[in-house]
């Protein structure tokens, strides 16, 4: 089916008490793996690209790959700009046909984050494209993202932010981090509960790679409707390739080792979808 927006799938997840898995991809094989997993489990899915991934290829290239795969799929697929870092990039993604946009102004002061987010929401509204924003700062470092030690989302600020920006979903900072965790993350689930009391739109959890299944499920039970996975997909894809090249060092056909990477990603994505509880929800 054609690409769909993320709004309906996230509202359905909110109503149904599960979360939609949102997966960052770096190439065609990873996109194939994610959609193949979604088809097998009959799950709605979001495929994401970050600014650094876009620089590696282009918005048009990634969108074309995902759109072609989605067209042949029988499950809803949304194409999402993850951590859009400027109004200009958000505008480019909108023009290229992305069906979900994130503008990340979390590194700005509160009022500047609001102003930037309002601008992107106003731009996307005529095309009915939903906008995700972030309040607080998810810690860690991955690609261009450097949240340092992070900064927690204040529930009352979240309420005001959503009211003034009219975003469709909100990424919250409750102790997660991008990249590979050093030590065991301690999530502030009580903070998430307080945010949920005053914010009605779907909430998003970033930095889920490396969290325990129990932690992810607990966050979903307290109102998370979208869970982002990135780092562990990269690791899985690379592990598949490394295994083939280790066992068969003379292999030179990219299709051979890329297929192994693709299978590793597919199995991981299926697991994460089951943790999110979105299987059978397409």
CATH number at residue 100: 3.20.20.70
What is the number of structural domains in the chain? Answer: 1
pLDDT at 183: 55
pLDDT at 151: 77
Is 133 annotated as contributing to ligand binding?
Answer: no
pLDDT at 265: 98
Place of tokens 């709004």: 7
For the whole model, what pTM was predicted? 0.92
* Domain range for 23: 7-276
Residues of the chain with pLDDT under 50: 139-140, 146-149, 181-182
Catalytic hit among 82, 143, 213, 250: 82
Place of tokens 């297929």: 259
- Whether 82 is a known active-site residue: answer yes
Whether residue 135 is contained in a domain is answered as yes
Backbone angles phi, psi at 26, to 5 degrees: -115, -15
Is 107 annotated as contributing to ligand binding?
Answer: no
Whether residue 38 is contained in a domain is answered as yes
Whether residue 240 is contained in a domain is answered as yes
pLDDT at 74: 97
pLDDT at 20: 98
Is 6 annotated as contributing to ligand binding?
Answer: no
Whether residue 282 is contained in a domain is answered as no
State the Rg of the chain over Cα.
18
Whether residue 1 is contained in a domain is answered as no
Whether residue 281 is contained in a domain is answered as no
């Amino acid at each position: 089916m054609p690409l769909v927006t993320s709004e309906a799938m996230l509202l359905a997840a909110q109503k149904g008490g599960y979360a939609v898995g949102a997966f960052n991809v770096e190439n065609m094989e990873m996109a194939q793996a994610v959609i193949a997993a979604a088809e097998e489990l009959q799950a709605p899915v979001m495929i994401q690209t970050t600014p650094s991934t876009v620089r590696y290829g282009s918005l048009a290239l990634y969108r074309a790959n995902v759109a072609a795969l989605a067209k042949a799929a029988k499950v809803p697929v949304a194409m999402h700009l993850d951590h859009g870092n400027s109004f200009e990039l958000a505008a480019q993604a909108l023009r290229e046909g992305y069906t979900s946009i994130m503008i990340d102004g979390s590194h700005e002061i509160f009022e500047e984050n609001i102003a930037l987010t309002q601008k992107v929401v106003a731009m996307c509204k005529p095309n009915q494209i939903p906008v995700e924003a972030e309040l607080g700062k998810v810690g860690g470092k991955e690609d261009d993202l450097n949240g340092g030690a992070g900064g927690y989302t204040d529930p009352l600020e979240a309420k005001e932010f959503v009211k003034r920006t009219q975003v469709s979903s909100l990424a919250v900072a409750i102790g997660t981090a991008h990249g590979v965790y050093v030590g065991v993350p301690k999530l502030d689930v009580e903070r998430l509960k307080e945010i949920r009391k005053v914010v009605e739109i779907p909430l998003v959890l970033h930095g889920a790679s490396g969290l325990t299944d129990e932690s992810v499920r607990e966050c979903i039970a307290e109102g998370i409707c979208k869970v982002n996975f990135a780092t562990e997909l990269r690791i899985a894809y690379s592990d598949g390739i490394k295994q083939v090249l280790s066992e068969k060092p003379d292999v030179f056909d990219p299709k051979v080792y890329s297929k192994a990477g693709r299978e590793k990603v597919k199995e991981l994505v299926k697991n994460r979808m089951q943790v999110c509880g979105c299987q059978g929800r397409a």
